[in-house]
């Protein structure tokens, strides 16, 4: 911007200086007189200056003509390419200048200029492998897909530019959503340049998306071989692929192979929950419950998860609640402070009808992390202890709007999945699902949560005892008036509805 302004000012100043100079030359007295061998020429000062400029041009032209004459003489003497070389030098210079301009235009985002410069360069240079690269990129830039595709097809003809052509068409097919063709092209590009990282990633994504787990594992192996993947990441992803393979094999009805694949996946990544669950089930089917227990415990140590607990329970389907509680002790002691351990312990105690112990198992989760599962367990405890319906309903009402707790969430697009998948169903990213609490887990309801007690009916009697047992907070009506936290208000409203009414009055 500033530079343009500067150029304009410079131009104006130059013109003014020229006009001024010419005016002064016109006003000057005298002039130049040239006398050569009887010839005599009188020039005014302005004419003299013009004559000098003309003379310079004439000398430049003379040098050019001499150059051409020299080339002609050489040609006559026997150097057959001399004239061609003379003209080619010129063409080459102009061609490379045009190519440089084209690249510059490309870099500054001027697609149309780049395209015309590339065409000009091609006219002088006749080097399509060079100029087509510029043309293709310029066509992409201006959104001229058909032209770009035509140029990519040209590039396929030359060994040196084939990869660029394949990659270009592959990207176009990907953008169009034609994944079948894109996969074939990616395989071709991978064969041409197995070290190319982007091609590896595209191929892997497409193979995973089309459930070609064997192919994907081969690509993953190539990624590791060419050093573009850390070994631990490779191991984990390979496990994910092995697990996906196992799932497919199981769906096809071949259980023995599926078992082996699941155990392999678990061996590669012991913390991958679905692999551990499947491997445990495989061991149990083989009549090796000890191995199954070991696999589940190993996975529980790195990631306690309800599916692992379910798999652990399934090892002894016939046992009663008391002996199940006893058997689970070996799992529960591994991570005693983990929220999943506390919830599992509470659930097992509820099943064994030991409600006070279930309440103790929950610990302070009801204050620290009151998600839907915690609140539902709380409702079950109250029901088991014979509390009135209104109290139970209060907990369930809170559970309605509470966070759902951890789920399989895509780390890329944050989509929540009901089941673990190797490929995100929304953004098609590979191995992005993690067992975490989704952001914005609280469910908003029209009218706000404070409306709910009205809808489900406020409890009738004051349940101060219930409040004292799990909360140290004061239950007076003053607390309700001072609190600006909706949840606290609701909590108090549900448990001691009459106090609420008193507080409002």
Q: How far is the CB of 428 from Zn ion (least distance, A)?
A: 7
Nearer Cβ to Zn ion (162/417)? 417
Evaluate whether 262 touches 246 at the Cβ level (below 8 Å): yes
Nearer Cβ to Zn ion (47/415)? 415
For Zn ion, which stretch binds (CB under 5 A), given 48-56, 144-152, 391-399, 428-436? Answer: 428-436
User: What is the contact mask toward Zn ion in residues 382 to 421, using x (rule: CB under 5 A)?
Assistant: ----------------------------x-xx-x------
Which residues have a Cβ under 8 Å from the Cβ of 154 and sit 6 or more positions away? 128, 132, 165
Among 61, 427, 445, 478, contact with Zn ion (rule: CB under 5 A): 427
Q: How far is the CB of 421 from Zn ion (least distance, A)?
A: 10
Q: 3-state DSSP call for residue 276?
A: helix
For Zn ion, which stretch binds (CB under 5 A), given 147-155, 279-287, 320-328, 425-433? Answer: 425-433
Q: How far is the CB of 420 from Zn ion (least distance, A)?
A: 13
Nearer Cβ to Zn ion (331/409)? 409
Q: How far is the CB of 98 from Zn ion (least distance, A)?
A: 46
Tokens of 98: 């045009």
Q: How far is the CB of 411 from Zn ion (least distance, A)?
A: 8
Rounded to 5°, angle at Cα 208 from 205 and 209: 80
Nearer Cβ to Zn ion (102/422)? 422
Phi, psi of 423 (to 5 degrees): -120, 130
Task: Compute CA distances 366 → 370, 398, 472, whole Å.
Answer: 5, 11, 12
Task: Please tell me the distance from the alpha carbon of residue 314 to that of residue 276, in angstroms, as a whole number.
Answer: 14
Evaluate whether 429 touches 412 at the Cβ level (below 8 Å): yes
Q: Which one, of 357, 358, 365, 304, lies nearest residue 333 by Cα?
A: 304
Nearer Cβ to Zn ion (357/421)? 421
H and E: helices and strands count for the chain: 26, 5
Nearer Cβ to Zn ion (362/410)? 410
Q: How far is the CB of 410 from Zn ion (least distance, A)?
A: 3
Nearer Cβ to Zn ion (283/408)? 408
Evaluate whether 133 touches 117 at the Cβ level (below 8 Å): no
Among 424, 467, 490, 492, contact with Zn ion (rule: CB under 5 A): 424
Nearer Cβ to Zn ion (120/205)? 205
Which residues have a Cβ under 8 Å from the Cβ of 23 and sit 6 or more positions away? none
Q: How far is the CB of 205 from Zn ion (least distance, A)?
A: 12
CB-based burial, 321-333: b 16+ in 10 Å, e otherwise: eeeebebbeebbe
Q: Is 440 exposed, middle or buried, given 0-12, 13-18 or 19+ CB atoms closer than 10 A?
A: exposed
The neighbour count for residue 226, using CB atoms within 10 Å, is: 13
Tokens of 205: 């994504």
Q: How far is the CB of 434 from Zn ion (least distance, A)?
A: 11
Nearer Cβ to Zn ion (155/410)? 410
434 binds Zn ion (CB under 5 A): no
Among 47, 142, 210, 426, contact with Zn ion (rule: CB under 5 A): 426
Nearer Cβ to Zn ion (113/415)? 415
Q: How far is the CB of 429 from Zn ion (least distance, A)?
A: 5
Task: Please tell me the distance from the alpha carbon of residue 134 to that of residue 118, in angstroms, as a whole number.
Answer: 6
Site of tokens 């590896």: 200
Evaluate whether 187 touches 203 at the Cβ level (below 8 Å): yes
Task: Please tell me the distance from the alpha carbon of residue 452 to that of residue 375, in angstroms, as a whole number.
Answer: 15
**DSSP result, 29-43:** ---EEEEETTEEEEE
Q: How far is the CB of 414 from Zn ion (least distance, A)?
A: 7
Q: How far is the CB of 302 from Zn ion (least distance, A)?
A: 23
Task: Compute CA distances 70 → 57, 60, 74, 89, whole Å.
Answer: 20, 15, 6, 15
Q: How far is the CB of 362 from Zn ion (least distance, A)?
A: 33
Q: What is the largest CA-CA distance in the chain?
A: 137
Nearer Cβ to Zn ion (425/501)? 425
Nearer Cβ to Zn ion (26/427)? 427
User: What is the contact mask toward Zn ion in residues 479 to 498, using x (rule: CB under 5 A)?
Assistant: --------------------
Q: How many residues bind Zn ion (CB under 5 A)?
A: 8
Interacting residue ranges for Zn ion, rule: CB under 5 A: 410, 412-413, 415, 424, 426-427, 429
């Amino acid at each position: 911007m500033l530079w343009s302004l500067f150029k304009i000012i410079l131009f104006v100043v130059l013109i003014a200086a020229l006009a001024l100079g010419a005016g002064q030359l016109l006003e000057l007295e005298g002039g130049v007189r040239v006398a050569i061998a009887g010839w005599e020429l009188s020039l005014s000062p302005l004419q003299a200056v013009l004559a000098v400029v003309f003379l310079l041009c004439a000398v430049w032209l003379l040098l050019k003509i001499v150059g051409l004459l020299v080339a002609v003489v050489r040609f006559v003497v026997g150097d057959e390419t001399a004239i061609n070389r003379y003209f080619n030098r010129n063409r080459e210079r102009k061609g490379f200048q045009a190519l440089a301009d084209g690249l510059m235009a490309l870099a500054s985002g001027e697609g149309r200029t780049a395209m015309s410069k590339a065409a000009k360069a091609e006219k002088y240079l006749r080097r399509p492998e060079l100029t087509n690269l510029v043309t293709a990129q310029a066509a992409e830039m201006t959104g001229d897909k058909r032209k770009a595709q035509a140029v990519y097809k040209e590039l396929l003809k030359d060994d040196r530019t084939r990869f660029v052509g394949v990659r270009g068409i592959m990207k176009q097919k990907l953008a169009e959503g034609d994944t079948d063709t894109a996969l074939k092209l990616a395989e071709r590009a991978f064969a041409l340049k197995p070290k190319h990282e982007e091609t590896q990633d595209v191929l892997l994504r497409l193979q995973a998306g089309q459930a070609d787990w064997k192919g994907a594992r081969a690509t993953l192996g190539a990624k590791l071989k060419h050093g573009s993947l850390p070994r631990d990441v490779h191991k984990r992803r390979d496990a994910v692929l092995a697990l996906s393979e196992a799932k497919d094999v199981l769906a096809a009805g071949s259980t023995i192979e599926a078992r082996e694949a699941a155990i392999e996946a678990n061996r590669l990544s012991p913390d991958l929950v679905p692999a551990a669950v499947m491997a445990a089930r495989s061991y149990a089917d083989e009549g090796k419950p000890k191995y199954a227990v070991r696999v589940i415990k190993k996975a529980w140590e790195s990631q306690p998860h309800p599916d692992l607990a379910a798999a652990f329970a399934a090892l002894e389907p016939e046992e009663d609640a008391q002996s199940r509680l006893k058997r689970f002790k070996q799992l529960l002691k591994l991570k005693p402070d983990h929220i999943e351990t506390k919830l599992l312990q509470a659930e097992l105690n509820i099943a064994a009808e030991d409600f006070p112990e279930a309440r103790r198992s929950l610990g302070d989760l009801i204050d620290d992390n009151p998600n839907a599962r915690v609140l539902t367990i709380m409702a079950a405890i109250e029901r088991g202890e014979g509390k009135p319906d209104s109290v139970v309903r209060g907990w369930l009402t809170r559970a309605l709007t509470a966070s759902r707790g951890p789920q399989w969430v895509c780390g890329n697009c944050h989509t929540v999945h009901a089941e673990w998948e190797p490929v995100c169903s929304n953004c098609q990213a590979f191995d992005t699902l993690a067992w975490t609490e989704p952001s914005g887990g609280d469910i908003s309801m029209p009218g706000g949560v404070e409306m709910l007690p009205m809808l489900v009916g406020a409890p009738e009697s004051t349940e101060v005892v219930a409040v004292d047992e799990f909360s140290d907070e004061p239950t007076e009506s003053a607390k309700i008036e001072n609190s600006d936290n909706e949840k606290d208000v609701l909590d108090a409203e549900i448990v001691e509805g009459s106090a609420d009414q008193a507080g409002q009055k």
